[in-house]
Amino acid sequence: MFVFVCAGCGAELTTPLSQVALPVHARQTYGNGAQLPVLMQSGTFAVDPDPWGGPWRLWDELDPGEAEARGIYAPVHALSDSAPGASVIAPGDIRGTRLLPDKTASACCGLDGADGPNMACETCDLPVATRVDDCSLWQAVRLSSDAVHRVPVGGAHAKPISWAELIEEGERTPLFEPVGTWGGRSGSSHYWSWSPRWEAAAGQALAHLLAASQEQPVKVPDGLAADVFQRTLDALLPAGSPKRRAALAGPGQPSPDAGVDILLVPIHPRTGRTWTPADPTTSAYLVPLPLGVWLWLVSPQPYLPVPASGRLPQDVLRDDPLPPLPNYLFRADWGTFQHTLVRLPAVRSPWLRTILTNLAQGTWTEFF
């Protein structure tokens, strides 16, 4: 457990927190006017290795080789020039800070952090964090790595949770979920949608699937995995044979068949490490998926409404009739896909660079 303190005066700025992996959807921008929930679970923090938020530098302003030194191998519109390594927490876990009025007026419905840190230490006025709660963004507070220090607090070290324990907990991420809208004249409302977390996970996985394809067609397992990935893979990759085979693999699953080239595997939600096969000779490309998404792919769950009595509380969705399914095919999150692909060395290949350029220009919008 850790407490974050101000680098200027030492004042405590958070409740005690334990470290977990940064969620795949941490940088996602979803829909138009959507009211997304809090990104981090209360009592936890995650470190974002990449810079985030203003100030920004256009791609043409970067020195030769600077982008690759930062682990970026293909052009993007602009790069954040802020300090990397921010610690991301739930807004309810911040303490001893105040908002900076001159850094809170640029967004639509809330705070977007576009102008840099917008929260200061109450004790010494040092800008220490950026609160984000604007529409279409996940709500979070980002503690600046150059303005706060992490201090251990008393207590025994938590024992790392095993894959077997995680599977037993079985915290799956449903494919559909209600998305809130920003309150208007009639107040807030909800609509049923493909899960934003699934769309972000698919964006990250598709970037890896393309890198693993080696410009050959890829066949993912039939069923839900095909519904999520196959349509886009067939559109972006050449048709024909031989096909590279992908399979689901992970804790509690049988060993993949011989000849499988790509494995869809889970990410440990605490450590951020990707599950690896016990056989050290396995040469398959590992495509990471958030554990909750992977669990749902391995064992899809039907939507089963729970009977209830009494009046329906405000803002609770009805389960009779069943919520309507989205009226469009599943699409991966473009922002997460691009963020992932430009950081994979394989994107240097001309064919992958062409795909990235075409997508950035609006081609194949039905898939992202």
Residue 46 has pLDDT above 70, yes or no: yes
Pick the more confident residue, 138 or 105. 138
pLDDT score recorded for residue 154 = 77
What value does the mean pLDDT take over residues 65-70? 92
DSSP three-state, residue 287: strand
β-pair type (262-267, 244-248): parallel
Query: Which of 42-56, 230-244, 271-285 has the lowest average pLDDT?
Result: 271-285
Residue 305 has pLDDT above 60, yes or no: no
Q: Which two tokens stand for residue 181?
A: 């809208």
pLDDT band at 21 (very low <50, low <70, confident <90, very high): very high
The per-residue pLDDT for range 143-188, each reduced to its tens digit, is 999 999 999 997 656 677 899 999 988 789 999 988 888 765 555 6
> What element of type H or E holds 48?
strand 44-48
CA-based nearest residue to 359, from 342, 122, 99, 105: 342
The per-residue pLDDT for range 110-136, each reduced to its tens digit, is 888 888 899 999 999 999 999 999 999
Helix segments in 188-260, DSSP class H: 196-213, 224-225, 231-236
Residue 204 has pLDDT above 70, yes or no: yes
Q: What are phi and psi of 104, to 5 degrees?
A: -125, 10
What does the alpha-carbon distance between residue 177 and residue 271 come to, in Å, rounded to a whole number? Answer: 26
Residue 61 has pLDDT above 70, yes or no: yes
Say if CB 47 and CB 26 are below 8 A apart.
no
What value does the mean pLDDT take over residues 85-99? 97
Residue 105 has pLDDT above 80, yes or no: no
What value does the mean pLDDT take over residues 263-273? 95
Average of per-residue pLDDT values in the chain: 89
Residue 26 has pLDDT above 60, yes or no: yes
CA-based nearest residue to 289, from 6, 22, 24: 24
For the chain, first and last CA: distance in Å? Answer: 39
pLDDT score recorded for residue 352 = 96
β-pair type (2-6, 140-143): unpaired
- One-letter amino acid identity for 131? R
What does the alpha-carbon distance between residue 318 and residue 192 come to, in Å, rounded to a whole number? Answer: 11
CA-based nearest residue to 347, from 12, 17, 137, 73: 73
Residue 313 has pLDDT above 70, yes or no: no
Residue 354 has pLDDT above 70, yes or no: yes
Percent of residues, the chain, with pLDDT higher than 90: 66
pLDDT score recorded for residue 41 = 96
